[in-house]
Structure 1
Amino acid sequence: MFELSQSFYFEAAHTLRRPAVGQAEAKGSRRIHGHTYTAEVTVRGARDAATGMVVDLGVLRAAIAAVREQLDHHFLDEVPGVGTPTLENLCVFIHAQISQRVPQVHSVSVQRKSSGDRCVYTPSQA
């Protein structure tokens, strides 16, 4: 079994209602603000006997470019399908978009390095 990963970044703005945190942090989250996000898409599987690849990285990169186009320099509150722009929802959104073209997607992580936040989404393989 092999795992291959491809990383990409996007910069985007959003707002977030956070009633459970301190007043100052909740206030800042409600205002439009932005982050630089780093995402990583991991595919998993056996090598294809004919190609020797789990997935053609060109196909994966094209799928990533399509999802990056939807997110980079956009207001995430208005991106159809994202919902509330949390790290969790961004992981689910990226996974859903890319797995339509690359079914071997195993997991997606989204990170904001400047604040040390990271979320990893690995859907159950029922």
Structure 2
Amino acid sequence: MTVEISYRFGFDAAHHFDHFPEGHPNRGMHGHSFHVEVAIEGEPDPATGFVADLGDLEGACGDLRKALDHKVLNDVPGLAKPSLENISIWIWKRLKPRYAALSRVTILRDSAGQSCTYRG
């Protein structure tokens, strides 16, 4: 029996995209509220009933939130091009070594109706 558990967190950050032409609204510095959902998939451990310890996952995501919240994402090491795609991959790379059963990372910008899911 395979189940998926998930944890969500949010952060607010700014970014810019230099590849857009002058005058394009995404070229200049602008900000968003981002929401992240990370999911782990597997069979519950017979001894605990857990796929993973959600408290531990919450702590790991808290560390990521601190690295991203109220930052200029372009200045975060590894996020020079901070698209939804690259943010989801950046988070995956930081969680996957700790959570072998990580199944997806989804980034949402609810105000724009946009999201991206990375499954490794």
TM-score, length basis structure 2:
0.92
The residue that corresponds to 2:3 in the other structure is 2
**Contact 1:10/1:37 (<8 A) preserved:** yes
Shift of 1:97: 1.0
- Corresponding residue SS for 1:70: helix
Supply the distance in 1 between the matched residues of 2:109 and 2:86 (Cα, whole angstroms): 14
Q: Which amino acid aligns with 1:70?
A: A
Is the CA contact (8 Å cut-off) linking 1:13 and 1:74 kept in structure 2? yes
- Asked if 1:65 corresponds to 2:62, the answer is yes
Paired-residue identity, %? 37
Q: Give the gaps of 5 or more residues in structure 2.
A: none
Contact 1:109 1:118 in 2 (8 A): yes
Q: Which runs of 5+ in 1 are unaligned?
A: none
CA apart distance, 1:5? 1.0
* Matching of residue 115 in structure 1 with residue 115 in structure 2: no
Q: Which segments of structure 1 move beyond 3 Å, counting only runs of 4 or more?
A: none
Residues 1-126 of structure 1 aligned to structure 2 (within 5 Å): 1-19=2-20, 27-123=24-120
